[in-house]
Structure 1
Amino acid sequence: MAELVFDCVDAVADRYAVVPGFALRLRITETSGERIDAIALRCQIRVEPHRRRYSAQEAERLHDLFGDTDRWADTLKPLQFTMLTAMVPGFTGSVTQELPVPCTYDLEIASTKYFNGLTDGVIPLLLLFSGTVFGTRDGRLNVQQVPWSKEASFGLPVSVWRETVDLHFPNRAWLSVHRETLDALQRFKSSNALTTWDSTLTALLDRIEERQA
């Protein structure tokens, strides 16, 4: 029976992707000496917020997600990030496999909100593997399942995620609003002869600050 060990060794932003994404580089090692013909690999990725420390600025940015810091022992729970599949070609010993990871900049999604709240350091990820291993034994096709216990931890640099997003949305952020809200913003924008949505929101914030002064 094949004995597989999974390690995540690196992550790089995909500069040529149509949509934002980065690539995780996996090292897959077969330790029993058996030849692997192919692996139909599945990988579930979770974020494990409890595995790192946070600055005061990060705690403030993550308040919407986890609440007050004195409650973080209860609220700092794992977040589902994504589920991926890949076809790993045949190998003996070990092989390096790139795993493309598409990203969204939708700040309504918990994982994106978490990533955006970090200023530096790493994003603690847990990669959970499953799938089907194909090989040959005694001249016959041999099929095995990747045990559900196979996993790997990886610290994704925050800088890689920010580079990934900035390649497509440099110095930009996306907000999702109801159509009625967008219509109201459009009326305010037009009536005040504002040229961009950024200037529209800035004008509204300035008015609020003036009223609070």
Structure 2
Amino acid sequence: MPATSPAVRIEVRGVEAAAPAVAPALRFLLHLHADAPIRALTLATQVRIDATGRGYDEHARQRLRELFGPPEAWGRNLSSLLWTQTLTHVPAFTGSTTTQIIVACTYDFDVAAAKYLHGLPDGEVPLRFLFTGTIFYLDDGRLQAAHLPWDTESDFRMPVSAWQDLMDRHFPDTAWIRLERDTFDRLYAHRVRHTLPGWDDAVRSLLETSGG
């Protein structure tokens, strides 16, 4: 990278529910500082859950068993999880500015990040934001472009309650699972055959039959 290209520091400073939003999403607030004027910045962000960055009591270990296996295997299996990747266009600024990245959230339990976030009863989620992108700047009156250094990143500890409150707002007292079509057809037939009024009733009847 040319010596004259600006140095850019990025820090994640907060999180809040994205509103208004039809689908659940979190807004992460970024503070950027550059040592020279920036004409534009194209910022690609990879958000990872650093699962090794916090402790887990026995209750949390049981809830996360599907992801990381039995507690005695956590030394081998506990690892970083990819949450999402985003692209943000930052307009021109001099000195410092703020921007945001929007992270869509899902209650799909086929997604590892959703399993992890649902499995945490409380505390904080250790996140790592890895930034890449292109800096546009003027050098002797000419527009230049340079890549962000590969080690541009920021750690952030998100309260578990931020995700829990978001899910409660969009899916109050509910959770979502995805079924194969054949499984759904069999469940629907069971519901009709036993004249059960709702899906909860259909699943509960099966759980009671199996002793679950």
- 1:5 is aligned to 9
Whole-Å Cα distance in 1 between the matches of residues 203 and 139 of structure 2?
A: 65
Unpaired runs of 5+ residues, structure 2, are none
Unpaired runs of 5+ residues, structure 1, are none
Task: Determine whether 1:16 maps to 2:16.
Answer: no
TM-score, normalised by the number of residues in structure 1:
0.94
C-alpha distance after superposition, 1:50-108 (max 9, x if no partner):
10011211110100110111111110011111110001111111111111111121101
Shift of residue 148, structure 1, vs aligned partner: 1.1
2:203 aligned counterpart, secondary structure: helix
Of 101, 114, 117, the residue aligned with 2:116 is 114
1:58 aligned counterpart, secondary structure: helix
Q: How is 1:1-213 mapped onto 2 (pairs within 5 angstroms)?
A: 1-30=5-34, 32=35, 34-209=36-211
1:29 aligned counterpart, secondary structure: strand
How large is the RMSD of aligned CA atoms in angstroms? 1.2
Is this contact kept in 2: 1:14–1:164, CA < 8 A?
Answer: no
Whole-Å Cα distance in 2 between the matches of residues 51 and 150 of structure 1?
A: 19
Which amino acid in structure 2 is aligned with residue 187 of structure 1? A
Shift of residue 166, structure 1, vs aligned partner: 2.1
TM-score, normalised by the number of residues in structure 2:
0.94
- Number of equivalent positions: 208
C-alpha distance after superposition, 1:116-147 (max 9, x if no partner):
10111111111000001111121110211111
Whole-Å Cα distance in 1 between the matches of residues 19 and 146 of structure 2?
A: 36
C-alpha distance after superposition, 1:3-50 (max 9, x if no partner):
1111100000113112110100011111x3x10111010001111101
Whole-Å Cα distance in 1 between the matches of residues 74 and 205 of structure 2?
A: 35
Whole-Å Cα distance in 1 between the matches of residues 145 and 94 of structure 2?
A: 16
C-alpha distance after superposition, 1:170-204 (max 9, x if no partner):
11111111111111111111111111111111111
Which amino acid in structure 2 is aligned with residue 24 of structure 1? F
